[in-house]
Structures are given as C-alpha cells and as structure tokens.
Amino acid sequence: MYASESEDASNATITTLKILIIGESGVGKSSLMLRFVDDTFDPELAATIGVDFRVTSMNVDGNRVKLAIWDTAGQERFRTLTPSYYRGAQGVICVYDVTNRSSFENLDHWMTEVETYITKGDAVKMLVGNKIDMVSPFLSVTLLTIAACSYFVLFNCRCSLLINTRFLILEYYALCSANIFPLSLLNFHFLFKTGFLIQPNREVSREDGLKFAKRHRALFIEASAKTKEGVQCAFEELIEKIIQTPGLWESDRPAFRLGQNTANANDSYCGC
C-alpha cells in the first residue's frame, strides 16, 4: 500500500497535506517527526522554538501525497501563534509521554485547542503515546518468589519456606527454560494482571490512552522515536485515514477516488 518516494518517482503529486504535531514540551514531538522524515534520533535535541517544518512525500495506493509536517513548540509562551498553526490542517498528531502523567492529563487542553482553532471540522486526529522504550517490564522478585513457592507447593514438591530466595528464583527460571512452567505470552499477560510483571517508569497505561482516544474519536498508537517502533505506522495510518476522507483534501477532483477499501469510521486503534 505504501512506498517510498524513490520507488515510483514518475507519479504526480495528487495533493499536499498539512499535518500538525502538538503536545507538551519534552514529550518527543520533534523526535517523532525527525524519525519519520529523516530516520534519525538525537537524544540531545533542543526544544522547538515557535515551529519547525519538514516536507516529505509518500505513496498511498500508487498515488503520491506530499506531506507538510508542522512541529509546534509546547511551551506556553508560544501559544499566541496557535491559530495560524491549525489553519488548513488535515491531520493532527497529539503526543504525550507514557512516563509523564502530567503530559497525559494536559491532553484535554490540547484537544480543546484543536476543536477551537481547526478550520477543517473532519480533520483526522491521532493520539501517540511516546517513549515506550523507557518502560521495559521486569519481574518483581518479591511477588515472583511467592508465586514460585505456591507453584512448588501445588505440585507437592518438597519445599521449605526457609529455602533461600535466590535458589527459588533460579529454580523458577530453570522450570521456565525446561518448558515445565513456560513464560509464554499468556504467562506475561497473567504476570502483568497480577502485578508480578511491572513497568516502573510507566505512568500512563495503554488502556488509559486508548480510552482517551476513543472519547475524542482519534486514532491511537504507542510509539518510540528512539527505537522507531510505531512511528512509521502512526504516520501511515493517519495519512490513509485522511485520504479516505476526500472532503479533507479534494477541491476540483469530484470524480477522483483512491481505492475502495475504506476503513471503519469508528476504528480508533492503529493496528499496524
């Protein structure tokens, strides 16, 4: 469905789309844009002053689309420029940091701003939870010890409560590696639900993000500008949704349509 610019350079550009990236300062808006446009990541990237701007293009169903991506500053002192940012935008990406609860709680302000200043009522919105690279899960040793003890007792193993904790953990991993108690995806799900598997840096759950996106009729995905995970998918899903809404970008092309495989208008989850 998608192709890079070099793969089909003969196609004429059918339209130029304006994409706006908004959110609190420090959530990674610039990093997401640069990862998508230039495939680069700079951990020392300075905060955006005013607005940054990048132009790129992509092919959707064999048709080239030019993207004008506006990366806005999150600081309050730049809010006086807000109306001009939103004017004519067909898509808005609202970014928060999954390790920063306040960046998520302030999303209501950003969504209110979108509804106030956006000039295209059917503009497509996408919510992106960034920095998932910082929330790698690990096993809670204390709770895992209790689980391992219970496992041994249930299977009539000769286990004393005075057994050294370290030995018990090693036995658990031995069982896992021997496929006696496999640490499968199902087990990971169980460990998350019961608290054995925790993400110490995560302050915003995936469920919270998805609920917020559904409430505001927005697409949703979690991503990492650092590792690239979810970045390409986020932009592709947004552009595809815009193209599937001809009223957003068609002006003098009443007979022109892209593809017939339009997505369900109620879908709010990016399923890449």
pLDDT of residue 258: 44
pLDDT for residue 133 is more than 60: yes
pLDDT for residue 11 is more than 50: yes
Domain containing residue 93: CATH number: 3.40.50.300
Of 86 and 192, the one with more pLDDT: 86
178 is in which domain, residue-wise? Answer: 138-198
Express each pLDDT in 53-69 by its tens digit.
899 999 887 888 999 99
pLDDT for residue 159 is more than 70: no
Residue 22 within a domain: yes
Centroid of chain to Cα 61: 23
> Which is nearest to 233 in space by CA: 220, 242, 243, 216?
220
Residues 237 and 173 in one domain: no
Report d(CA 93, CA 20) in Å as an integer.
Answer: 6
pTM: 0.69
pLDDT for residue 191 is more than 70: no
pLDDT of residue 216: 96
Stretch among 49-63, 130-144, 155-169 having the lowest mean pLDDT: 155-169
Domain count for the chain, please give it: 2
Of 60 and 147, the one with more pLDDT: 60
pLDDT grade, residue 150 (50/70/90)? low
pLDDT of residue 28: 93
Residues 88 and 166 in one domain: no
Helix (H) or strand (E) holding 151: helix 141-154
Of 270 and 21, the one with more pLDDT: 21
Residues 33 and 61 in one domain: yes
pLDDT for residue 1 is more than 70: no
pLDDT for residue 85 is more than 90: no
Residues 32 and 11 in one domain: yes
Residues 178 and 217 in one domain: no
Report d(CA 93, CA 218) in Å as an integer.
Answer: 9
C-alpha pair distances (Å), 58 with each of 34, 36, 129: 15, 11, 23
